[in-house]
Structures are given as C-alpha cells and as structure tokens.
Amino acid sequence: MDVWQWLLFFICICVKVTQTEASSWTIDVPSSVKGLLGSCVVIPCSYNYPNAKVQTFTGIWTNDGNQVIYHPTESKMLEQYRRRTKLLGDISKSNCSLMIENLQQNDGGPFHFRIELGGYNSFSYLNKKVSILMIREPNAIDFSAHEDIKEGQPVSASCSVFHSCPTYPPAFHWSHSGEQHFQAQKLHDGQWKATSILTFRSNRTDHNKLLQCRVTYHGGKHQETSKTLKVKYAPVNVKVEYQSDVNEGQTAHLKCSSDANPVSSYEWHSETGALLNKGQTYTMSNVSRHSEAVYCTAVNEEGRVKSSTVKLNVLYGPDIETYSKCSSYNGIVKCDCIVQSRPPSMVHFVLGDRVLQSTTVETAGSVTTGTLQTDFGSFKFVHCLANNTLGNANLTLSLPVNDNMQYIFIASGTGVILLIILIATAVGVKKCTWRSGETPPSDLSTMKSERPVAIPHHAPAKRKENYEDAHYTNYHVYGNVGTDLDESVYANV
Ligand SMILES: *[C@@H]1O[C@H](CO)[C@@H](O)[C@H](O)[C@H]1NC(C)=O
Ligand SMILES: *[C@@H]1O[C@H](CO)[C@@H](O)[C@H](O)[C@H]1NC(C)=O
Ligand SMILES: *[C@@H]1O[C@H](CO)[C@@H](O)[C@H](O)[C@H]1NC(C)=O
Ligand SMILES: *[C@@H]1O[C@H](CO)[C@@H](O)[C@H](O)[C@H]1NC(C)=O
Ligand SMILES: *[C@@H]1O[C@H](CO)[C@@H](O)[C@H](O)[C@H]1NC(C)=O
C-alpha cells in the first residue's frame, strides 16, 4: 500500500471509531423506580444504537425470564401485562419510556429493554435493568401554610407529594376556594414532586377552620392533611348586654361582648366621651333618669370598635310639673296636668268627690299630658292624680274663678269685709259702665296685676263678649302670679 492508501485506511478507522462511540448500543434508564401499588409508574428511558439506516423500530420490554411485558403486538405479551403497559415516547427518536398501570405486587422486575431495528439489527440492553420498588402507601403530604394571618391578607398554602407517574399526576383538592397553581418538578430516578399552591384572601370567617388538602393518586389511592387556620381580626359584633328596664335608684349591670381574635379587652365611656371603666362589665349604681348613655369599646391589636350607645330605660314614678294649670279660653275651661314618669302614667282628675278621666291624653317620651275639659261648676280646685306601676302623685290645680261668682277682690289678711263693701260699690259702677256698651275700664288690668281678680260671668248675654275679654286677661294674670300664690290665696279664702 502506498502512502495514500494508508491515509485513507486511517481516516476510515477514525470515522468508524467516532461513529461507534457516539452511537453505540447504550441506554439511559434508572436501576430502580419507586411505584405505588395500584397506581401507575413511568420508567424514563432513552436508548442509542449505532448509526445505521433503519426502516422500522420495534421496542420491547421483557423480564429476566425473557417474558415480554411490552410489545407493540399485544398477543406477544404476557397475559397479565396486556393493556397495562405502554411505550410513552417516540420509539424512532430514541425514547423507550415505559408506563405500567395498576401496579401489582409482582411487577417488581427487573426488566430490560430490547430494540429491533428493521433492516439493521436487534439489541437487548441486558447491562442496564430496571426494578420497581413497590410502595404500599404514599409518603406523607408535605403541607405548609402560614400560621398567623391577619384578616384581609393573602394566604398561601402549599401541598406537595412525590410520585412516579407524570402521565397521570396526583390530583389535589382543597377545602377552601382560591387560586390554585400546579407545579411539577422532575427529580432523579423517575421521581417527581407535584405541588399545588392555593392562595386566597383571609377572612375572619376562616378563623379556626380546617384548611384541608386532599391528594388523589391515579388508581384511586388518596391521602389528606389539614391545618387549623388562625386569623387575626379586629372586633366585630360589639354589643352591650343589659336589662333595659331598671328602676331609678337601682343598680344596672352592663356587659360588653364581641367577636375578635385575639380576644378583646373592653373600655366603657359615657356618651360625652369620659372613660368610666375598663373591663368587660360595667356596674351603674343608683341609676337616675338623668344617667348618661354609655357605650363600650372592644380593643385588640387589630383595632378598636365601638358598640352602639346604650341608654337605660330608667323607670320612675310620676312627678307632676308645677306649671300644670287650668285656663280658660273663649269661655271654655280646661286643665292640663303635665306628668314626668316612666312608664307613662295614667292621669285622672278629682273634682269634689267625682273621679274624672282625662278628656285627652298625650304622651311624648317621659311626658304625659292629661287634659280635662268639663263643666267645673262652682269648684275652685281640681286635683290631678297621676300613677304608674312605680307610684303616684297628686297636685291641686286652681280653677279660673267661676262665672257664677260675684265680683270679689280677693285679698289676704285683714280688711276683707271692708273690701267686700268696696267691691260692692265698684260692681255697681262697673255694671253701669258696661251696660252702656263700652269696653271694660282700662284700670281693670292694673288692678289685677296687683292681685288675682275673679270676674263673675252672670251678666246679660249681649255682654258676653266683653266678659270673655276680661276673663282672658284674668287667665294671664294667674299665669304671671304662679300656682303657689294662687293656692295660698285660695286657701285664705
Ligand atoms: C419520552 O417521551 C415521554 C412521553 O412523551 C416524555 O415525557 C419524555 O420526556 C421523553 N424522554 C426523552 C428522553 O425525550
Ligand atoms: C369576609 O367574608 C364575608 C362574607 O363571606 C365578606 O362579606 C367580607 O367582605 C369578607 N371580608 C374580607 C376582609 O374579605
Ligand atoms: C342616688 O342618687 C340621687 C340623685 O341622683 C341621690 O340623691 C341619692 O343620694 C343617691 N343615693 C345613693 C345611695 O347614692
Ligand atoms: C293607676 O291607678 C288605678 C286606680 O288605682 C289603677 O286601676 C291603674 O291600674 C293604675 N295604673 C297603673 C299604670 O298602675
Ligand atoms: C296626695 O299626695 C300626698 C303626698 O304627696 C298624699 O299624702 C295624699 O294622700 C295624696 N292624695 C291623694 C288624693 O292621692
């Protein structure tokens, strides 16, 4: 051989060697893969063969006894593997990954791959076998969630498991709604880590609730785990519990309650803002009708929340207002008896020995006004009686001087008789004056401003108008003088 021939020979050898090393009969398959009984397993696999022109690819998996556990022609397979095994990848692209479903106890192997390349060669990769390590139960779920969360903040919880069947990864189910993300992470030896991440906005309604993650593997096996959610939130439903009705002078017990995490502490304030007490309860002793309304504030690290304002319904017996009075207008006499009480009182009147119902009764809050309108005859006084469940009260009201009475100057102490004589004279004068149809003398009001004056009402009918004017003035005079004086004056009569 000449130099050229030698050179060609070496080139050929070199090319051949390179080719053999790059594409010889090699396989990449783990020696062992974990598999969950009843579930599925995927044996990752890729093979190589010497570079050659290949027409057809037939991938076969066999066990150590050369029994076929996978073959594209099902009839060539062991009975117990039919419809349970499947080549996953593209066999013509060096992918020999095998899936076995419904894993049985005796599916452990070892197994090896054989390739039959139509128009070239066949090869069994006996040097690299794979076994399946059977697992009866899956590993515990790896669960993580934030322990202490504040209401309104986003919560994320994650749940992850290992498996070896990426074709049918485990399914995750969460007990709480939210956004779910699935992550698949490839590990070594056919192992995968599947993770589900749930994110949601925390709510106080979640406090003390179980957050559960349930994992279901292909084939039906499942497992679950849970964690109790702890959500911090500002007080809600802050309210005061109390007995509304309380008698004046008694003691009222108020209790504040709220829903909060962590539990609230409490403060009590009067309506005007003064701090009254700290603590869940507040005792108001000797309550009175003037006792201020109060509210409580529930406080925790998340916030301060006020209750609504509470006003006790303080019950007390009637007090008759001293400005209660009888008055006359257009010849009609009526008596208003104004009573402060809770609950509202019944208001009666006693005229002589007769007990009379109020003609009308008006109630506005704690004020009851009983009005009597009747023929008072010649009575000078009427008694107003008020009673409720807690007591009763009475007040004597003076009636405007009766029409049937003579004109009299009422005066105290001495000189009564003298006055009567003077009055008689005056009456005579006035009767004359009035009969002439003129207005009553202007000095009448001046006189009355000194002392209460009673004006009779038995003048002729055509004078009625004038009398009424006089009477009306009289009423105002009484109004100015006041009840106490009236009473003392009458008492002297
Ligand atoms: C083989 O095929 C399977 C299924 O299509 C695929 O998941 C895997 O990644 C492939 N393997 C290689 C080495 O390409
Ligand atoms: C909590 O849930 C309730 C009812 O589901 C809702 O009305 C409220 O707005 C939620 N609170 C927050 C802070 O998301
Ligand atoms: C209760 O209050 C009233 C006034 O509101 C007062 O006159 C009375 O002395 C008080 N009684 C006690 C026992 O404090
Ligand atoms: C007030 O007294 C009358 C007569 O004694 C009685 O019938 C009535 O029930 C009393 N009313 C109340 C509210 O106690
Ligand atoms: C009126 O009240 C007084 C005490 O305030 C009481 O002694 C008297 O009996 C009462 N009279 C009537 C008619 O109720």
CA 134 to centroid of ligand 1, rounded, Å: 23
Distance CA 382, CA 336 (A): 11
Whether 315-400 and 24-135 are alike in CATH topology: the answer is yes
Q: Find the distance separating the first CA and the last CA of the chain, reported in whole Å.
A: 171
The pLDDT score that the predictor gives to residue 55 is: 87
Mean model confidence pLDDT for the chain: 81
Residue type, 276: L
52 phi, psi to nearest 5 deg: -160, 165
Q: How much is the average pLDDT of 347-370? A: 93
Per-domain residue ranges of the chain: 24-135, 142-228, 233-311, 315-400, 404-492
Going from the C-alpha of 157 to that of each of 13, 57, 200, 473, the distances in angstroms are 61, 47, 9, 88
**pTM surpassing 0.75?**
no
More confident residue, 148 or 258: 258
Distance CA 202, CA 260 (A): 15
Q: How much is the average pLDDT of 234-243? A: 95
Split at pLDDT 50, 70, 90, the class of 409 is very low
The pLDDT score that the predictor gives to residue 468 is: 37
Identify the CA nearest to 40 among candidates 6, 80, 84, 105.
Answer: 84
Give, using CA atoms, the residue closest to atom 10 of ligand 3: 286
Q: Looking at residue 481, what DSSP letter applies?
A: H
- Which CATH class for the 24-135 domain? mainly beta
Q: Is the confidence at residue 16, as pLDDT, over 60?
A: no
Which of 203, 209, 229, 237 is the best mutation target for the ligand 2 pocket, counting ligand atoms within 8 Å of the beta carbon and taking the most? Answer: 203
Q: How much is the average pLDDT of 349-360? A: 92
Q: Is the confidence at residue 423, as pLDDT, over 50?
A: yes
Q: Is the confidence at residue 242, as pLDDT, over 80?
A: yes
Domain 315-400 has CATH 2.60.40.10: yes
Complete DSSP assignment for 38-73: TS-EEE--EEE--S---SEEEEEEEETT--EEE-SS
Which of 337, 339, 383, 387 is the best mutation target for the ligand 4 pocket, counting ligand atoms within 8 Å of the beta carbon and taking the most? Answer: 387
Report the topology of domain 142-228: Immunoglobulin-like (2.60.40)
pLDDT tens, position by position, 370-382: 999 988 888 999 9
Distance CA 48, CA 25 (A): 5
pLDDT tens, position by position, 181-224: 999 999 999 999 999 999 999 889 989 999 999 999 999 899 99
Q: How much is the average pLDDT of 436-441? A: 40
Distance CA 101, CA 41 (A): 7
Which of 153, 200, 205 is the best mutation target for the ligand 2 pocket, counting ligand atoms within 8 Å of the beta carbon and taking the most? Answer: 205
Q: Is the CB of 396 under 6 A from ligand 5?
A: no
| Lowest model confidence (mean pLDDT) among 237-241, 426-430, 484-488 | 484-488
Q: State the burial class of residue 89 (Cβ atoms within 10 Å of its Cβ: 0-12, 13-18, 19+).
A: middle
| Lowest model confidence (mean pLDDT) among 77-86, 351-360, 441-450 | 441-450
Q: Is the confidence at residue 470, as pLDDT, over 80?
A: no
More confident residue, 427 or 466: 427
Distance CA 240, CA 21 (A): 87
The pLDDT score that the predictor gives to residue 114 is: 93
Q: Is the CB of 302 under 6 A from ligand 2?
A: no
CATH of domain 233-311: 2.60.40.10
| Lowest model confidence (mean pLDDT) among 171-180, 211-220, 379-388, 466-475 | 466-475
Q: Is the confidence at residue 343, as pLDDT, over 50?
A: yes
Tell me which ligand sits closest to the C-alpha of residue 285: 3
Q: How much is the average pLDDT of 22-33? A: 87
More confident residue, 327 or 1: 327
Tally DSSP H helices, then E strands, for the chain.
Answer: 5, 38
Q: Looking at residue 91, what DSSP letter applies?
A: G
Q: Is the CB of 358 under 6 A from ligand 4?
A: no
